[in-house]
Chain A
């Protein structure tokens, strides 16, 4: 199919299917078709098609799109001036031939793990529409899982790509902090935010990553003889039967026998909470003063509290981050890849406040970030590999690499994608 045909097909799938899923908050039909026609004309004139020629994609609605107000999932952005240019991530994907067809549902200002948006409604999980897609990039994950598009842009501060990718059964990556440009993405935390693509296959995720990292792609290196260990200690509990089975199965596939523990993981999560709060609070302070009533209820109070975070807490969290990064770096002197669960449980039902796992009652939202948030503090890359077992909801496993080893993790994910349980 040419670009126009691919884009029309994606627009048709969204029109037919999104009434049920609620993944897409804005369709950019005119822009997408104009872009697709231009690509087809260029290729007909002899231009070399890019690696993502005509591939339709969606972006979380915190990314700038020229001429469109960047909503970031909130009514508090109504009346903001339209973006003057596309976000760098959108520019790079389109530079590789992809076509942006719309924007996706998200937790308000990306401050959550559920994509239960007071203004736009919940993004529903295509595997069971009574359940959540996870967040905060839930619309992007649900749209890919529903087959609307093969590829979508999310963002990951504390797990916002990895959590919804796991719950929706697709691939995703939180890249090494700083490797992909965040220019034109509405921030939550300057210290932790990353741009992250989600895709239905490991191969497509790789092509998207390479387009986003254009000019700075590194050789993956060999995936033979890798020293791989499973993260123990903090990462052993709580795990549902399905999440544990998926982890065991993936470790067996990779032949992982060793366990290794990271130090002070609970404190790493606390530091990530505090850094996110302190930075988000300052990002939103001026807007909260002007129009607090336009924020949704759960987010407004959290951001007001965040704005009041004492600097002593924030500075200690930043100092701890330095310590933790060094501790994680030391572990990667002995191992190339670490394996960890993505979430303690599969998708909760919409409206479910608590989930009980191994006798522990966890708040449905924060509980989902148990295993992703502390790793975000280390600034190392993680690739989310989905595990789909017959008759069960998807769960995911994180492949964690040393700083800058994104390409190696993607190569390992492609190898796993050849195995039945991980193939889409």
Chain B
């Protein structure tokens, strides 16, 4: 996660101060855990973001 934060922040030209880095990584880890649980959920086709096709 440290490497992801470093590389993604650099790609976005987003400076992360040294004293902020550990907290940013901790927040990112928490978001990642939430995302992992959410991504594990099998959504049906009805949850597609595409608009329904006309009849």
Contacts and interface: CB of A to CB of B under 8 A. Distances in A.
Contacts of A271: 38
B43 A307 contact: no
Given A267-B41, A274-B31, A274-B34, A308 B49 contact: no
Contacts of B31: 273-274, 277, 305-306, 309, 313
B41 A320 contact: yes
Given A270-B38, A289-B14, A317-B38, A322 B49 contact: yes
A326 B44 CA distance: 12
A130 interface: no
Contact of B14 (A285, A293, A318): A285
Contacts of B14: 285, 288-289, 304, 307-308
B15 A289 contact: yes
A326 B4 contact: no
A306 B31 CA distance: 8
A213 B3 CA distance: 48
Contacts of B27: 301-302, 305-306
Contacts of B16: 304
Nearest to A298: B23
A273 B34 contact: yes
A289 B10 CA distance: 11
B18 interface: no
B30 to A, nearest CB: 8
Contacts of A277: 31
Given A267-B41, A285-B14, A305-B27, A300 B20 contact: yes
Nearest to B31: A277
Contacts of B32: 313
B26 to A, nearest CB: 8
A292 B15 CA distance: 8
Interface in B1-55: 4-5, 8-9, 12-17, 20, 23-25, 27-28, 31-32, 34-35, 37-39, 41, 43-44, 46-49
A356 interface: no
B37 A301 contact: no
A304 B9 contact: yes
A264 B41 contact: yes
**Which interface residue of A308, A312, A319 has the most chain B CB atoms within 10 A?**
A308
B39 A312 contact: yes
A147 B8 CA distance: 48
B8 A319 contact: no
A322 B47 contact: yes
Contact of A320 (B8, B15, B20, B38): B38
A316 B49 contact: no
Classify the secondary structure of B's interface with A.
helix
Classify the secondary structure of A's interface with B.
helix
A85 interface: no
Interface string A280-311: 00000100110011000000111011111110
A15 interface: no
B46 A305 contact: no
B38 to A, nearest CB: 5
Contact of A323 (B8, B39, B43): B43
B52 to A, nearest CB: 11
Contacts of B49: 315, 318-319, 322
B46 A322 contact: yes
Nearest to A315: B49
A301 B23 CA distance: 6
Nearest to B39: A316
Interface in A30-46: none
Contacts of B13: 289
A305 B34 contact: no
Contacts of B37: 266-267, 270
Nearest to A318: B49
A313 B35 contact: yes
Given A285-B12, A316-B35, A301 B43 contact: no
In the A-B complex, list the 7 residue pairs whose CB atoms are closest, starting with the nearest.
A305-B27, A313-B35, A270-B34, A301-B23, A323-B47, A308-B8, A319-B47
16 contacts: A264-B41, A289-B14, A301-B23, A301-B24, A304-B16, A305-B24, A305-B25, A306-B27, A307-B14, A308-B4, A308-B28, A316-B39, A316-B43, A322-B48, A326-B46, A326-B47
